[in-house]
Amino acid sequence: MMDFWIILTAVLVASACSILGCFLILRRMALVGDAISHAVLPGIAIAFLMSGTRDSMWMLLGATAFGLLTVFLIQTLQTFGLQSDASIGIVFTALFAVGVLLISLNAQHIDLDLDCVLFGEIAYVPWDTWTLGGIQMGPRAVFMLGITLMVILLLLGLFYKQFKICAFDPAMAAACGIPVLLFHYLLMGMVSMTAVSSFESVGAILVVGMLIIPAATAYLLTHRLGIMIGLSVAVGIVSAISGYLVSYLLDASIAGCIVSVAGILFILALIFSPSSGLLVKFTRRSSSARTAS
Amino acid sequence: MLDWLISLWSDPNTRWILMGCTLLGLGSGVIGSFTFLRRESLLGDTLAHAALPGVCIAFILHEVKSAGLFLVGALLAGIAAVLCVSAISRWTKIKPDAAMGIVLTFFFGVGTVMLTHIQHSGSGSQSGLDKYLFGQAAAMVTRDVYTLMGVSLLLVLAALLLFKEFKLISFDPGFARGIGLPVGLLEHAMLILTTVAVAAGIQAVGVVLVAALLITPAAAARYWTDRLSVMLTFAGLFGALSGASGAAISTLGEGIPTGPVTVLAATLLFAVSLLLAPRRGLVARALRHRGLKADYAARSAVHASGSPEAAEGGGRR
């Protein structure tokens, strides 16, 4: 049962992240996802300080607001003429520093381990349960991630076409009368929500890894958005399950193993992808050289 | 306040750490200016995360904790990471930013697996390895501080010696190649210097925050000047100031970590520069904007009244 909850959590994180990752990769915002998943830390710390517990919906909302604040600050600095890479770097390091400082200053009030912030401790998920009206409802992380995944599926299902046009051609989307900025912030809100709900259970690094690697793998394999999302989720889920097994064999961090497996899948796609893999590319090049001579 | 400053200086251990952090801030501020101008600021973040497997392998091979050894491990892993990033973004349709993200998380993930493997296998002296990653300058021993200071001085010295070359490849690599400079070699040299700065900085501020040492002082310095030499001076100064205040303030209490305070000091300097810098700052820009607007309004009023002498006078002003 323990294994089941852990794998379920990992699969939920992987699916939520790999769906959103496709849009981030297409909009060339992969590193904004990285920034958000680090910058929600002060939101989580403040929610902890104010409510004293961690099982409130307020925490999810409050910390999600911090994710949106990150995006807003990055864009504001850019409109002030700072180049985009530097503004991402300045904003997320500053917010992460605030978070670490808050946690270390209030160590006795905040039940949050700083090591877990980066690596996460998914193995503790089954013990962190919550109850509703005296009934055991299962691990809290699974519940929060389930809600997040549901919100993502709902929003993307309703506005799939709009998100698609915004991802490929924001200028055309604006010309069609789609509120591009609104959809931008909706996407960023979903990324923040995912980052927050998976933060303490799986750690920032698994969130970033799952946001970028499965989507990039799928990007190498197809040219169609729908198929890309499907493949991305498949890669995410496969790496979540096999990563858990590998971690069992190696007696090592579960989150680290999942990301490593995803990275290996990416390398395989990089070499063997039928459309843009290195193998195809080099054989094509050598065969064309042969026909030329 | 004064007592506190004196006590900082009189305790030899604190004094060394203070000097180490100051020099580190100076060195990474100077090197960071070049990466900032080349728009590669986030490379620092990638290098920092990629250092983890290198540090772990160095530990597995030698079973000792030493700053010098970790530096070599981090350097090799950083170079491998950069090669991977450029290979991915060159041979596939994946953009450089996504390539950085992939390499960053993959290396860090592998590093995490190694780290937990080391911890679970339980060789007695591994306890400080995670301290190294999250950055606590107070945990450094004197030998580590010496390494840190040596490395920082090396960075500044290299930037001074290769100033002209680095300036050219930062602003106009095409021209640099045209006049026969070995651009590829210089780019690699700069990359190695950046990796060294990151690897040294991890100990003082931690994996996630070390990128700020490279980015924030340089971005702040950019607001004060349009000349590279002045910008390097300012960036080094800002970096040194934040490093010093981080190390000093963290001595005030048991639970105050060095890294976040250093980064927040740098961010504060950045915010001040963004607002108050002459010419490029927001306040100066708003004032200039208002002045132009008033000038324009005055001139159009003069035109409307139709007096040629007054209009000419307005134009000359």
The pLDDT score that the predictor gives to residue B205 is 84
- B-chain CB neighbours of A259 within 8 Å are 105-106, 108-110, 112
CA B283 remoteness from chain centre: 26
How far, in Å, CA of A283 to CA of B4, rounded?
69
The pLDDT score that the predictor gives to residue A49 is 80
How far, in Å, CA of B178 to CA of B171, rounded?
13
Residues 6+ apart with CB under 8 A from A123: A6, A254
The pLDDT score that the predictor gives to residue A103 is 83
How many beta-carbon contacts under 8 Å exist across A and B? 192
Segment 54-113 of chain A within 8 Å of chain B by CB:
77, 80-83, 85-86, 88-90, 93-94, 96-98, 100-101, 104-105, 107
| % of chain A residues with pLDDT over 90 | 44
Residue the block writes with tokens 């990055």: A74
Q: Is A213 on the interface with B (CB under 8 A)?
A: yes
The CATH architecture one would assign to domain A2-292 is Orthogonal Bundle (1.10)
pLDDT tens across A9-54, in order? 899 999 999 999 999 999 888 888 889 988 888 888 888 787 766 5
Q: Provide the residue ranges of all domains of chain A, joining segments of one domain with +.
A: 2-292
The pLDDT score that the predictor gives to residue B5 is 76
Count CB-CB contacts under 10 A for residue B169.
24
Q: Is B249 on the interface with A (CB under 8 A)?
A: no
b vs e for B204-234, b when ≥16 Cβ sit within 10 Å of the residue's Cβ?
bbbbbbbbbbbbbbbbbbbbbbeebeebbbb
How far, in Å, CA of B236 to CA of B22, rounded?
10
With an 8 Å Cβ cutoff, are A85 and B259 in contact? no
With an 8 Å Cβ cutoff, are B100 and A31 in contact? yes
Q: Is A260 on the interface with B (CB under 8 A)?
A: yes
Q: pLDDT band at residue A137, thresholds of 50, 70 and 90?
A: low
Nearest to A208 among B93, B101, B117 (CB): B101
pLDDT tens across A177-236, in order? 999 999 999 999 999 999 888 876 677 888 899 999 999 999 999 989 999 999 999 999
Q: Is A255 on the interface with B (CB under 8 A)?
A: yes
How far, in Å, CA of A36 to CA of A196, rounded?
9
Q: Provide the residue ranges of all domains of chain B, joining segments of one domain with +.
A: 2-280
Q: Which of B49, B90, B118, B208 should we substitute to test contact with A (largest number of A Cβ atoms within 10 Å)?
A: B208
The pLDDT score that the predictor gives to residue B316 is 47
The first and second tokens of residue B179, run together, are 């006049």
Residue the block writes with tokens 């992380």: A141
> Is CATH 1.10.3470.10 the classification given to domain B2-280?
yes
With an 8 Å Cβ cutoff, are A259 and B207 in contact? no
With beta carbons less than 8 A apart as the criterion, state whether A151 and A21 touch. Answer: no
The first and second tokens of residue B84, run together, are 């991977």
The pLDDT score that the predictor gives to residue B25 is 93
Count CB-CB contacts under 10 A for residue A124.
15
Q: What is the mean pLDDT of each run of 10 residues along chain B (317 residues)?
A: 75 82 93 92 90 88 78 90 90 89 92 83 58 65 82 92 92 90 90 90 84 94 93 95 90 81 94 91 91 91 69 48
Q: Computed over its alpha carbons, how large is the radius of gyration of chain A?
A: 20
How far, in Å, CA of B173 to CA of B55, rounded?
33
The pLDDT score that the predictor gives to residue B144 is 78
Beta bridge partners of A291: none
